[in-house]
Amino acid sequence: MIKNKNKWTKKLTALVLSGILTVSLSSTVFARAMSLQESITEALNNNHSIKQEEADLDKAKAVLGEAQGKRGVTLTWAGSAYKVAGHYYNDLNIDHSYSNSLEASIPIYTGGQLENNVKSARLGVDISALTLKNEQQSIELQTLQAYYSILNYQNIKKVDEDTVTQYNEHVQIANAKYSAGVVPKVDLLEAEVNLANAQQDLVTADNNLQIAVTSFNKIIGQNLMTAVEPSDNYLMDTGFSKTMQECTDIAIENRPDGIASQKTVEQAETAIAAARAAYIPQVSAVAEKSIDGNNMLNNDQSDKSWYGVQASWNIFDSNVTHSQVKQAEAALVRAQQEQADTNDQIRLDVRQAYLSMDAARQNIITTKTAVDQAAENNRIADVRYQAGVGTNSDRLDAITYYTNARMNYNQALYNYTTSKAALYKAMGISAQLVAKDITVPGTDDIDAEKNDSSGLNVLDRGTESNN
């Protein structure tokens, strides 16, 4: 009886353990390792905003095709079929009348209207292509920022995990000292409060990490639930030789939206010329052939053909053309003001990105030094407290200082990488070139001077000694 019971117990235990193992394995999440380049490529292929701009470009090309087609030959057929009656038709023994006419025409002179319409449509294609390029660069920057946001929150989470570990170890030491009557209870309570706060920060960090991954997945068009593990790290080369003015000059010359605003002004100028063409006579070459008969293709009733030149002149239209010209002139003024505003925005974008990058570059040096100093202070405070010569407050402060220093260093790395990418975008240069460390075409000396950053290591993941 006892043997059977033991056998049954062993089987039940085996089943339970097997079930736990199965659930554990089935719930395991395998993160997808992704490089920055791979992420940007997927974003450019999948992003909905880019697809919308691609559709607008196709539409602009079709508009150009329409404008070009209006300069060519137009061939028109017209036909009719009637049942006829009455003395006139009865005397001619006609009971049906079929008519067919074929007309060909080609514009000879339109006062520049068709030519300017083609020019405007061609500019429209250029503008759409530039708008698409600008959107692609924006998505590249958003992808880079989202990519490094994941890395940022991973590092924050790791620092919070290490902080929880240190506070937990300190609580155990404080509890042992309190149990031995060496320290007052307030030391233990204070340590437990710090541990609880650190645990809350860790929960928040994990939540922020999940949100960052979800946002990243949306940008690149990936399943929102996909776990992602960045395979690239922060940009460590802090060399940048360009001045702010040089960056601004490159931006004014390079930015797709700036060039597009300039072409919009040109397009508005052609619209004025096209509108003024209505003041001038329009001339076309025309040829026509028409037949009428008692059957569909008979010419027993009529057979006529003619060819020549046809001219028309809108002598008076109650100021319609004048109003259209005024509309086009007002559109030109608006386009000019939009161009000036775009250029101002370009200068602002460059200045903001440049200053942010420069501040982050300086902060990398200072925060790295602070991490080293805080790590040593943390080690000393731990040894002193365990030896009974350091206070509880000193130990807790040391952990806090160390945590803050590592957080600040991580933030400086994140700010520098994303700010430099934003500066590239502000100059109209692909942000992904930042990570590739490629010299930008047309700006050969960008990043030509490299600062020595060999002493700058990517944010530690808690590898320093806590003792």
Going by C-alpha positions, the residue among 124, 230, 204, 159 that lies closest to residue 374 is: 159
Going by C-alpha positions, the residue among 83, 77, 122, 81 that lies closest to residue 101 is: 77
Q: Give the pLDDT of residue 245.
A: 94
Q: Are 424 and 216 in contact (CB under 8 A)?
A: no
Provide the token pair at 16. Answer: 């339970």
What does the pLDDT average to over 91-96?
A: 84
Question: Distance between CA 138 and CA 131 in Å, rounded?
Answer: 10
Q: What is the pLDDT of residues 1-25, one digit of tens each?
A: 444 444 544 444 444 444 433 443 3
Q: Are 284 and 106 in contact (CB under 8 A)?
A: yes
**The total number of residues written for the chain in this structure:** 467
Q: Where are the domains of the chain?
A: 31-75+111-280+320-436
Q: Give the pLDDT of residue 436.
A: 65
Q: Are 99 and 149 in contact (CB under 8 A)?
A: no
Q: What is the pLDDT of residues 359-401, one digit of tens each?
A: 999 999 999 999 999 999 999 999 999 998 999 999 999 999 9
Provide the token pair at 11. Answer: 């089987």
Q: Are 381 and 467 in contact (CB under 8 A)?
A: no
- End-to-end alpha carbon distance in the chain: 56
Which letter, b or e, does each residue of 380-408 get, where b requires 16 or more Cβ atoms within 10 Å of its Cβ? ebbeebeeeebebeebbebbbbbbbbbbb
Q: Give the pLDDT of residue 444.
A: 42
Q: Give the pLDDT of residue 86.
A: 87
Q: Is the pLDDT of residue 452 over 70?
A: no
Q: May I ask the CATH architecture of the domain 31-75+111-280+320-436?
A: Up-down Bundle (1.20)
Q: What is the pLDDT of residues 391-437, one digit of tens each?
A: 999 999 999 999 999 999 999 999 999 999 999 999 999 877 876 65
Three-state SS string across the chain, please?
Answer: CHHHHHHHHHHHHHHHHHHHHHHHHHCCCCCEEECHHHHHHHHHHHCHHHHHHHHHHHHHHHHHHHHHHCCCCEEEEEEEEEECCCHHHHHCCCCEEEEEEEEEEEEEECCCHHHHHHHHHHHHHHHHHHHHHHHHHHHHHHHHHHHHHHHHHHHHHHHHHHHHHHHHHHHHHHHHHHHCCCCCHHHHHHHHHHHHHHHHHHHHHHHHHHHHHHHHHHHHCCCCCCCEEECCCCCCCCCCCCCHHHHHHHHHHHCHHHHHHHHHHHHHHHHHHHHHHHHCCEEEEEEEEEEEECCCCCCCCEEEEEEEEEEECCCCCCCHHHHHHHHHHHHHHHHHHHHHHHHHHHHHHHHHHHHHHHHHHHHHHHHHHHHHHHHHHHHHHHHHHHHCCCCHHHHHHHHHHHHHHHHHHHHHHHHHHHHHHHHHHHCCCCCHHHHHCCCCCCCCCCCCCCCCCCCCCCCCCCCCCCC
For residue 287, what are the β-bridge partners? 104, 307
Provide the token pair at 264. Answer: 């919009």
Going by C-alpha positions, the residue among 226, 317, 246 that lies closest to residue 279 is: 317
Q: Is the pLDDT of residue 461 over 50?
A: no
Provide the token pair at 410. Answer: 């991580």
- Sheet with 96-109, strands from edge to edge, namely 74-83, 96-109, 282-293, 302-312
Q: Is the pLDDT of residue 239 over 90?
A: no
Q: Are 346 and 252 in contact (CB under 8 A)?
A: yes
Q: Is the pLDDT of residue 319 over 70?
A: yes
Q: Give the pLDDT of residue 90.
A: 83
- Write down the mean pLDDT value for the chain: 86
